[in-house]
Amino acid sequence: MITILWVDDEIDHLQAHIRFLRKRNYEVIPASSGREALEILRSIRVNLVLMDQMMVGMDGLETVHEIRKSYKDLPVVMVTQSEEEELMDKALAGDIADFLTKPVNPSQILLVLKRLLESGKLKADKAAIEVITETEIIRHRKNNSLSDWTHLYHSWMEKDTSLGGILDQKLHGLQGGGLDQVELGFSRFIEESYPNWLASPESAPLMAHNVLERKVIPELLKGAGEVVFLVVDCMRHDQWLLMAKFIEHWYHREPGFMVAGLPSATPYSRNSIFSGLVPRDIWRFYRTHWIEEYGVPGLNSYEQLLLNDAVGRFGWRTGKNAVYVKVSNRQEGENVKRGLSHFLKDGFLAIVVNFIDHLTHGRSELDLIRDIAPDVPAFRKLAQGWFEHSFLFDMIKTLSARGATIVVTSDHGSTQANRITTIRGARGMSHSVRYRFGHSLAADPKHSIVVNNPADWGLPDDNPRKTYLFGREDYLLMQNGFNREDMYKFKGSFQHGGVSLEEMLVPCEVLRPKKYRG
């Protein structure tokens, strides 16, 4: 129950108002002086204080001053004789949450209480109903399009980020919320659509292997100014939503989505981004540079070569170079920021930022990060905190001042993997836990997508018995007899490589600089 402390030296005259609030399930504790109110706060949990301004002895403002010494965030609503400017200033400064002018009526008080104490819950309830309604529509529609899935996912993430993660918790706590069924439905949609998109490029959506040709090259061919292609490794859509709000002062956003390549992992999807090719064709045309073998270092070492070949193939060259840089720590980022004029001398810079990928994998390895970010809302807040104080945010502001256009995307996202399904296969299979490849692999088709025709999925088909497995929903792919250490390490961790909304639907936006008129 919500508890209200009402402080007024004529509290006996307010019994009708107090009864009104109690009938609406508010617990109201009366206090006839500031001193009494401070004593009550020392021993009783209070959600909000209604404070009369003009009281004998310690007045309302003095009482608020004393309250703030121990309770920084406790909402205080001042009840005053007139709308004084001092109260307005204090309300704006945060000392007072709101104020009411006498004579107050019960409806006014109720409105303020609901706005200050229950608006979050009411918004979360409304958002949950809207998302559940949207999921039900998708679940029962026979033929969903990609736009249906992106609309649902964006709506879900936008609402949840604005509510600080409350929606995600509420949806997972509701019986019949249908989130698991939505993820399963999305994986089946990808299973049916992905090979068709590759077989019919003209009808394919924006994907990892065509984003360079469809989004970046057109900006270069305009010749209107500098272009930066920014790929933030392992960035989820919800993380981008929190990060993007910091740059809206400097850039106009043209929102959109890209479908990550499969497997939704860096060696595949990011190489596809910079080559303009699916992994099958990277393997065919660059056999000495791209070897698909688990544990081989440097699978992304040739992205500069792939990018140079791709931009020439797509019609942007004229003696210019496509500059590529990869940033893995703050010092490298600061060096890029200081050297922008050098890197952009030909008007185009492609930059990969690896921090969120490090954070994602570090969470699996380090108990400290797992404790700091135990769930999705905390994990996205960690990424937001990094961005707000990062070289990348500073660089984006600098690029705006230069008038540079930015195309920003990610190679893949990640999903919190909470369930385990066992897989079978010959020795020598790869070791990733959201995707596997090897000879004659098998798994429960309810929990994973089994690909026996890799070429149709744009994947290397170097062996007739080669099979790929992609985890559906939040399943980890683990071999029979997996040990407890692996279960502890991976269960509840954020992983990528499989098929889920969070892994495969990544932001892809064009950011256009705003002019400063001072």
Domain-embedded: residue 111:
no
Structure tokens at 210: 């065509």
> Are 463 and 437 in contact, with CB atoms under 8 Å apart?
no
Domain-embedded: residue 195:
no
- 176 pLDDT band, cuts 50/70/90, is very low
Q: What is the pLDDT of residue 295?
A: 57
Check whether residue 464 and residue 315 sit in a common domain. no
Check whether residue 428 and residue 386 sit in a common domain. no
Domain-embedded: residue 497:
no
Specify the CATH number for the domain of residue 260. Answer: 3.40.720.10
Specify the CATH number for the domain of residue 8. Answer: 3.40.50.2300
Check whether residue 461 and residue 367 sit in a common domain. no
Q: How many CA atoms lie within 13 A of 245 on its CB side?
A: 10
- 175 pLDDT band, cuts 50/70/90, is very low
Boundary residue ending a domain (104, 136, 163): 104
Q: What is the pLDDT of residue 319?
A: 63
Of 469, 414, 466, 480, nearest to 445 by C-alpha is 469
Averaged pLDDT for residues 98-126: 85
Check whether residue 342 and residue 427 sit in a common domain. no
What mean pLDDT is reported for the chain? 88
Boundary residue ending a domain (47, 73, 104): 104
Domain-embedded: residue 383:
yes
Check whether residue 351 and residue 449 sit in a common domain. no
Domain-embedded: residue 109:
no
Q: Evaluate if residue 96 carries a pLDDT over 50.
A: yes
Q: What is the pLDDT of residue 316?
A: 86
Check whether residue 316 and residue 393 sit in a common domain. yes
- The amino acid present at 224, given as its one-letter code, is A
Domain-embedded: residue 499:
no
Check whether residue 129 and residue 10 sit in a common domain. no
- 208 pLDDT band, cuts 50/70/90, is very high
Check whether residue 467 and residue 331 sit in a common domain. no
Q: What is the pLDDT of residue 390?
A: 94
Q: What is the pLDDT of residue 151?
A: 93
The residues near 516 (Cβ < 8 Å, ≥ 6 apart) are 401
Domain-embedded: residue 201:
no
Beta strands 348-353 and 323-327, pairing class: parallel
Rounded distance, CA 437 to CA 269, Å?
16
- 87 pLDDT band, cuts 50/70/90, is low
- 178 pLDDT band, cuts 50/70/90, is low
Check whether residue 45 and residue 125 sit in a common domain. no
Domain-embedded: residue 197:
no
- Report pLDDT digits (tens) over 35-52: 999 999 999 999 999 999
- 301 pLDDT band, cuts 50/70/90, is confident
- Report pLDDT digits (tens) over 384-415: 999 999 999 999 999 999 999 999 999 999 99
The model carries a pTM of 0.84
Which one is predicted more confidently, 291 or 78? 78
Check whether residue 262 and residue 384 sit in a common domain. yes
Rounded distance, CA 7 to CA 16, Å?
15
Detail the DSSP E strand segments found in 71-159. 76-80, 98-101
Check whether residue 411 and residue 423 sit in a common domain. no
- Report pLDDT digits (tens) over 302-356: 899 999 999 999 988 766 778 999 999 999 999 999 999 999 999 999 999 998 8
- 91 pLDDT band, cuts 50/70/90, is low
- Report pLDDT digits (tens) over 427-459: 778 888 999 999 989 999 999 999 999 999 999
Range of the structural domain that residue 457 is part of: 419-491
Averaged pLDDT for residues 146-154: 93
What is the domain count for the chain? 4
- Report pLDDT digits (tens) over 240-287: 999 999 999 999 999 999 999 999 999 999 999 999 999 999 999 998
Check whether residue 425 and residue 483 sit in a common domain. yes
Residue 410 per-residue DSSP state: -
